[in-house]
Amino acid sequence: MVNNYNQRLEFTSVNYGEKVEPSKDDSKHHMAVNSELYKFKDIGVIPLFLKNFVDDLPDYIDGERIHIVKEKEVNRLDLISWEYYRTPELFWVIMAVNNIVNPFNIEEGTILRIIPKSYIEYNLIRYYKK
């Protein structure tokens, strides 16, 4: 926790995550290639995406879609990931492509860029070179 002051000079606190190393028992999931683990007080350990390929994305990818967040999808990128990719595990791609830092701060009406799963598989996960 780091203590800060707001504009009214009231005492506030900020919850910064602490980077943690994966254990030998952690999954060797494809997501691990593009994320690092951070532990947050009162939240737990969350894999945070590393922006290592987003800057290389073209402005438009053939087959990409636009998604407008519905009430039942607020803070639920896993549901949106399931709708388009048939897996909740690619929520981090939606975060990266749309410059989302906090997956629990997604409001109704937010417009999201959804890139095709085939592009993710062949251009980002399998063949990305750092």
∠60-65-67 over CA atoms, to 5°? 130
Q: How far is residue 77's CA from residue 95's CA, in Å, rounded to a whole number?
A: 8
Query: What are the extents of the domains in the chain?
Result: 1-50, 51-130
Give the tens place of pLDDT for each residue, 54-84. 667 888 999 999 999 999 999 999 999 999 9
> Is the pLDDT at 37 greater than 50, yes or no?
yes
Cut 0.85: pTM above it: no
Determine contact, residues 112/69, Cβ cutoff 8 Å. yes
Percent of the chain scoring above 70 in pLDDT? 70
The confidence band for 1, taking pLDDT boundaries of 50, 70 and 90, is very low
